[in-house]
Amino acid sequence: MTILAAGGIGCRKAQQPSPRAAADGAIAPSPGAAPGPEQAKGPGTESPASAAEPEPDWSGLGDDDVAGRSGITVDECRMALAEGDGFRITVCDFIREVNSLPPRFRARFDSIERRKELLEDMISLAVMEQEARRLGLDQDPETRFHVERILAEKMEAQLKNELRLQIRQAITPQDEETYFAAHADRYNRPELASAAHILVATEAEAQAILAQLAAPGAERSLFATLAAEKSLDQATKDRGGNLGSFTRPDVHSDRFRSVDPAIATAAFEMKDIGQIYERPVQTAEGFHVLKLMGRRPADVRRLDQVRPTVRMAIEEERFQEAWKARLQELQSQLGVELHPENLTDVRPVLPTPEELEGARHPPHGGMPGPSVIPVAPPAAAPAPAPAPGPNQPSPPPAAPAGE
């Protein structure tokens, strides 16, 4: 009997592989394992029909399903590998444990010695569980709190996976076409230009700057120097007057910024990178000396080029709506009543200055802990702890290639 079948891949303890398995380092995945990110196809190469369905959570499979997926009989699956007072580890349990490991660890258990080591780990855990129950630790408030959190998170993950699968399978080619047509701006890039400017108060000042820039032997860096010295635009003067990338004046895009129509019109009239516009451009702010920094042609995509991305966007939008409705349905079934007025007197235990400093500078190069920590029932009551500008424009996006 072979107890390790290729089968599917579970994820019960994907973040916490067996101590022995974790010590082995990276392991090549077995032939039946799903491809990792480095093996996956690039965007636009996968058709909706070929998208693989999520693999099962082995911890949620019954013995019949485990046996069927592993190519053995139910009786074989229920054979004992180890048993003692209060526990019994079966072949089914072992298969679920192995298939809950990440793919890179799972292949190692093709060796009988490795399988024996994993079984020893499972026996140790079972013995510790029985001892914990004997000592009453399973009734400890903190333990019960964490168990309840795990149950809730597992239930949430299962419901979300089921809901996503239903939504994914219901998306049709017509849905893709409709969504793509309605959100073309997300996938198409309009024609872009980028420019730098020097803003001054009068046309005479602008003409004088143009003359300096046109003088024989003028350095390429002169424009940035004059911008720093003379420009009234505090947001751009210290970066060479760079306005970033923008669209034509008659094009609206949620992804790319727009500038004053007079500036955009002048910028798109210029063809050569580094070209200075021949005359000052007047706007409500003053007079602008313009320099073309870059041009980028429009990039118009076809649906077949972005189909996987479109499907994911449809799925996500529908999932958010469906999940909200599902939560409301469950709350209604349980008769949930809200009393937000009782939050008025709820106060968190504020961190001490030492705790805040420790979070900013964790020891041994560790990562700071989460900013929101679940409040478990405490063993004892803790002691109380001690108690850019609004008008500054945001930096423009990076200029197109060719600057």
pLDDT in tens, 260-297: 999 999 999 999 999 999 999 999 999 999 999 999 99
10 Å CB burial of residue 176 (0-12, 13-18, 19+) is buried
Specify whether the CB–CB gap between 382 and 349 falls below 8 A: yes
| CA distance linking residue 114 with residue 68, whole number of Å | 24
Angle, vertex CA 188, rays to CA 185 and CA 190, nearest 5: 90
- Report which of residues 374 and 205 the model is more confident about: 205
| CA distance linking residue 128 with residue 132, whole number of Å | 6
pLDDT band of residue 57 (cuts 50, 70, 90) is confident
DSSP 370: -
User: Which architecture does CATH list for 189-296?
Assistant: Roll (3.10)
222 half-sphere exposure, CB direction, 13 A CA radius = 15
In this structure, the chain runs to a length of: 403
pLDDT band of residue 364 (cuts 50, 70, 90) is low
CA dist list (Å): 315 to 43, 89, 318, 322, 398: 16, 40, 5, 10, 31
- pLDDT score, position 31: 33
**pTM of the predicted protein model:** 0.52
Question: Residue ranges of the domains in the chain?
Answer: 1-135, 140-188+302-338, 189-296
| Model confidence at 389: pLDDT above 70 | no
- The amino acid at 313: A
Specify whether the CB–CB gap between 316 and 183 falls below 8 A: no
| CA distance linking residue 260 with residue 241, whole number of Å | 15
pLDDT band of residue 244 (cuts 50, 70, 90) is very high
90 half-sphere exposure, CB direction, 13 A CA radius = 14
Extended beta strands in 8-72, E state: none
Nearest to 253 by CA among 326, 189, 324: 189
Region 200-210 average pLDDT: 97
Average pLDDT of the chain? 80
Specify whether the CB–CB gap between 293 and 273 falls below 8 A: yes
| CA distance linking residue 108 with residue 117, whole number of Å | 11
Cβ-Cβ contacts under 8 Å for 146 (sequence gap 6 or more): 376
Specify whether the CB–CB gap between 49 and 136 falls below 8 A: no
